[in-house]
Structure 1
Amino acid sequence: MTTDALSGLKVLDLSWVVAGPLIGRTLADFGAQVVRVESSVRVETARLMQPFHGGVQDKEGSALFGNCNAGKLGLTLDLKSAEGQQVVRDLVAWADVVVESFSPGQLAKWGLDYDTLAATKPDLVMLSTSIAGQHGPWSTLAGFGNVGSSLSGFQYLTGYEDRLPMGTFGPYTDYVGPRLALVTLLAALEHRRRTGEGAYIDVAQVEAGIFFLAPQVAHFGYDGTIAARHGNRDAELAPHGVFACRPEDGNDRFVAIAVRDTGEWRALARAMSRPDLAERDDLATAEGRRAAQDELEGAVAGWAAGQVASDVERLLQDVGVPAHLAVTSDDYPADEQLAHRGHLVELPHPRHGTTYVEGPRYALSETPGRPRAAAPALGQHNEQVLTEILGYDADRIAVLTEGGILR
């Protein structure tokens, strides 16, 4: 029988929205037992974000929340109360890892910060994720991933040079940060395995975003060049862009095309029935094609406008030109490659019958991960966590319930 890669790992998840929960979600996929603590009074933002089952807003129906929290146990708790804070301390004593995304300084006010917790549990591995980090002049800045993507530079760089910045879709650094955080967290666990020492990891989403712009930062350091918006154009390749095709069922359709060398350029020109462009000497080099980008993009756009996007994709791929239709949410579930890799996973859901979440991003040969269960409903596992994990008796649980702590 295959053992899960993270079997036996115990995680307390005090994070919310996307950046923190995605870390715990990945750990759960590979066998960790993850207890998620949240409030049923101040409802977690992701529970109120679309899309929803049946298109109706419901704090138990968000697909975003479901995707970020599949496989976790759910405990509702009033963290502002002394009793609730004690439950958290008991969970910390049980856990190997704590992940949190409160505003920097908030846990210290409750006596739940790393220094305080590590005083009695020196092998604790704790990870905090925030917009700008736990210390410094910007540490108190509140916001979501759209703020992180703005501060890291992505908002400024996304769009066309003659228009206002468009920005990336959604909270970009909420999705970049967890990937870097996860690797660091696993390294800390390996360090603990070897030395018995715990660790504190301070993840700044802004810095995670900047890491992905390292070439632009290095270029500025080298000669002062400030990166700018160029639409869908590339600094080296031409033509390189996203082109409108024939509308389908009243919806706009687009195809992305990238030409890497002269052979691909000539193949594209011939596919467009433009042998005149294929044979022009001034277009035989990338430099020449970049100089004629307006002309070439106009030619590609004019040709693509009368074509079906999937036909353009297939035609160009067949002649060796990188091309792919711009996938919509309707295309996504039927994507053959994603289906082959089991990217979308159907899970039973206590309220909706079934739900879908994304599968693990990593395909491990010997210890494959998988989402174990749908995300928890509010308070779904209160009794299980308190009795089976913490060993509370019925009287203690009754006191917590009657005192409004388990909400």
Structure 2
Amino acid sequence: MKTSTFSSRPTEHTATQGSETMNPTPELIKQLAGGSGALDGVVVLDLSRVLAGPFAGEILADLGATVIKIENPNDPDVSRGFPPYLSAGDEEFSAYYGQYNRGKLGTTINLAEPAGKQVLKDLVKNADILVENFRPGTMDKLGVGYETLAEINPALVYAAISGYGQTGSRSRRPAFDSTAQAAGGLWSMTGYEDMPPVRVGVVIGDISAALFALIGTLSALRHAERSGEGQLVDVAQIDSVLAITETAVVDYTVDGTVAKPEGNDHAWVRPYGLFDCADGQVFFAGYTDKLWKVSCELFGTPEAATDPEIDTMRKRFDEAVYERKVKPVVQSWFANRTQSELEEMAGDTVPLTALRDVGEVVDDPGTAEREMIVEADYGPMGTLKMFGQPIKLSRTPAVPNRKANRLGEHTDVVLKEFAGYTDDAIAELKNGGVI
């Protein structure tokens, strides 16, 4: 049925020196998935859905890996239906899906079918990484869990992102981003003390889990390249959220203090927050002795820097002293000046920046200078502008300005190039509803 045509590593998984285990990506695949990069030659099977897993896969693709997006032909990634949409006539395409699945090859496999399981196993033979974000136990139930796939490819790095992790009494619980924000303590810390808690405005549970999964996956890949030994990378959203709660954990374990909502203020660093100005608001941080002295001189109140009540950082941290002595001084600096005046006056000297909405950020020349808005051409449906890649590599730059796949768009070429399937074998799988 097949003959292998591509391998990302030596057949024998023995320890090797350096990064010579990776073979360059075949030219046909490069033409479809984009150019080379730091991860050229790394093959990723992305079985994930919605955001946490797809975001991790998107970054791997941006950095040069060949990422194969695998979806159930009868139950594709639900985010394909998320707004907003690019459209032309009756045709539409989810920009949400496009942003998190750019540069990936689209493949469909029905893992409920025995033949579908075999297709995945055949792809795993020549893969470096597999990413999934199903509820723990799902892949095992399908017969393609980590232990099974590791027998086929001992060097496989298997990244599993879930709500509560692969172990523990809560592991089988379903979870979304807000589950992690609630269970991880973050929700209780956000908002204002005299109001109900407020959810963080982005899916930080998904995003943090994606980034921690990437760190773990690339660490495990490095080990696999040296030893031929893969491993399971287990990342939980709730763990990821807990790990980004700053000092909340040590505040509790050392002093017994439970973190509470602080609004736009820091729990103890002062001045550090959002302040009103003539035409909006600015963020300002002048809490160190050096920044406080510079700010006082810059805004024409040098005497505040030597005032014995507020002349040291520790004194300014005192909440009562801050409210009585420091805050009125800072407010006087900003009240009659506009955002642009303040940035022009102080933005290059102290941490001071205007509070901007996303539209202003997208249109800001500084955003363009950092190539943080990129475009992908979707033909008649138009051009999709999306966020770029914040990781800037000087020798192997990322390539984020690419289209996302249509459902099953590259199934044939993936099975031919990565599993050696013939046209007849592919036709048989299609006729059987497997792909």
Distance 1:344 1:82 in 2: 43
Question: 5 Å matches for 1:242-257?
Answer: 242-246=274-278, 253-257=280-284
Distance 2:305 2:246 in 1: 36
Cα deviation per residue 1:122-163 (whole Å; 9 max; x = unaligned)? 222111000110122111121222221222221111112222
Cα deviation per residue 1:366-387 (whole Å; 9 max; x = unaligned)? 2222126211122221222233
2:40 alignment counterpart: 7
Question: Residue 92 of structure 1 is aligned with which of 111, 114, 124?
Answer: 124
Question: 5 Å matches for 1:104-123?
Answer: 104-123=136-155
Q: CA deviation at 1:114?
A: 0.6
Query: Does the aligned pair in 2 maintain the 1:47–1:58 contact within 8 Å?
Result: no
1:49 alignment counterpart: 82
Structure 2's unaligned 5+ residue stretches are 1-23, 25-34
Distance 2:87 2:352 in 1: 34
Q: CA deviation at 1:227?
A: 2.1
Question: 5 Å matches for 1:236-247?
Answer: 236-246=268-278
Is residue 232 of structure 2 the alignment partner of residue 203 of structure 1? Answer: no
Question: 5 Å matches for 1:172-187?
Answer: 172-187=204-219
With over 3 angstroms needed to count, the CA separation of the structure-2 counterparts of 1:306 and 1:106, relative to structure 1, is same
With over 3 angstroms needed to count, the CA separation of the structure-2 counterparts of 1:321 and 1:82, relative to structure 1, is same
With over 3 angstroms needed to count, the CA separation of the structure-2 counterparts of 1:3 and 1:383, relative to structure 1, is closer
Cα deviation per residue 1:250-279 (whole Å; 9 max; x = unaligned)? xxx431111223564466567767788677
Distance 1:89 1:326 in 2: 50
With over 3 angstroms needed to count, the CA separation of the structure-2 counterparts of 1:334 and 1:372, relative to structure 1, is closer
2:364 alignment counterpart: 335
Structure 1's unaligned 5+ residue stretches are 248-252
Distance 1:235 1:222 in 2: 16
Distance 1:85 1:215 in 2: 45
With over 3 angstroms needed to count, the CA separation of the structure-2 counterparts of 1:365 and 1:266, relative to structure 1, is closer
Is residue 62 of structure 2 the alignment partner of residue 35 of structure 1? Answer: no
Is residue 343 of structure 2 the alignment partner of residue 313 of structure 1? Answer: yes
Q: CA deviation at 1:39?
A: 3.3
With over 3 angstroms needed to count, the CA separation of the structure-2 counterparts of 1:317 and 1:109, relative to structure 1, is same
With over 3 angstroms needed to count, the CA separation of the structure-2 counterparts of 1:350 and 1:70, relative to structure 1, is same
Q: Which amino acid aligns with 1:223?
A: D
Is residue 400 of structure 2 the alignment partner of residue 403 of structure 1? Answer: no
With over 3 angstroms needed to count, the CA separation of the structure-2 counterparts of 1:26 and 1:80, relative to structure 1, is same
- What's the % identity of the aligned pairs? 34
Question: Residue 310 of structure 2 is aligned with which of 243, 260, 283?
Answer: 283
Distance 2:53 2:189 in 1: 26
Is residue 24 of structure 2 the alignment partner of residue 24 of structure 1? Answer: no
Distance 2:290 2:41 in 1: 54
With over 3 angstroms needed to count, the CA separation of the structure-2 counterparts of 1:272 and 1:45, relative to structure 1, is farther
Query: Does the aligned pair in 1 maintain the 2:87–2:381 contact within 8 Å?
Result: no
Q: CA deviation at 1:281?
A: 4.1
Q: Which amino acid aligns with 1:178?
A: A
Query: Does the aligned pair in 2 maintain the 1:158–1:229 contact within 8 Å?
Result: yes
Q: CA deviation at 1:303?
A: 6.6
Q: CA deviation at 1:207?
A: 1.2
Range 295-304 or range 217-226, more displaced: 295-304
Question: 5 Å matches for 1:223-238?
Answer: 223-238=255-270
1:359 alignment counterpart: 388
Q: CA deviation at 1:177?
A: 1.6
Q: Which amino acid aligns with 1:35?
A: I
Question: 5 Å matches for 1:59-74?
Answer: 60-62=93-95, 64-74=96-106
Query: Does the aligned pair in 1 maintain the 2:224–2:230 contact within 8 Å?
Result: yes
Range 208-217 or range 28-37, more displaced: 208-217
Q: Which amino acid aligns with 1:82?
A: P
Distance 2:331 2:78 in 1: 41
Question: What secondary structure sits across from 1:137 in the alignment?
Answer: coil
Question: What secondary structure sits across from 2:376 in the alignment?
Answer: strand
Q: CA deviation at 1:186?
A: 1.5
Query: Does the aligned pair in 1 maintain the 2:86–2:382 contact within 8 Å?
Result: no
Question: Residue 405 of structure 2 is aligned with which of 353, 359, 376?
Answer: 376
Distance 1:371 1:41 in 2: 29
Question: What secondary structure sits across from 1:398 in the alignment?
Answer: helix
Distance 1:96 1:7 in 2: 12
With over 3 angstroms needed to count, the CA separation of the structure-2 counterparts of 1:118 and 1:160, relative to structure 1, is same
Query: Does the aligned pair in 1 maintain the 2:270–2:322 contact within 8 Å?
Result: yes
Query: Does the aligned pair in 1 maintain the 2:375–2:402 contact within 8 Å?
Result: no
Q: CA deviation at 1:350?
A: 4.2
Q: CA deviation at 1:317?
A: 2.2
Distance 1:270 1:191 in 2: 53
Distance 2:262 2:289 in 1: 22
Q: TM-score, normalised by structure 2?
A: 0.82
Distance 2:379 2:420 in 1: 26
Cα deviation per residue 1:339-388 (whole Å; 9 max; x = unaligned)? 22222222222453322233332222222221262111222212222333
Q: Which amino acid aligns with 1:391?
A: G
Q: Which amino acid aligns with 1:162?
A: D
Q: Which amino acid aligns with 1:230?
A: E
1:250 alignment counterpart: none
Q: Which amino acid aligns with 2:347?
A: Q
With over 3 angstroms needed to count, the CA separation of the structure-2 counterparts of 1:245 and 1:404, relative to structure 1, is farther
1:147 alignment counterpart: 179
Q: TM-score, normalised by structure 1?
A: 0.87
Q: CA deviation at 1:8?
A: 1.1
1:391 alignment counterpart: 420
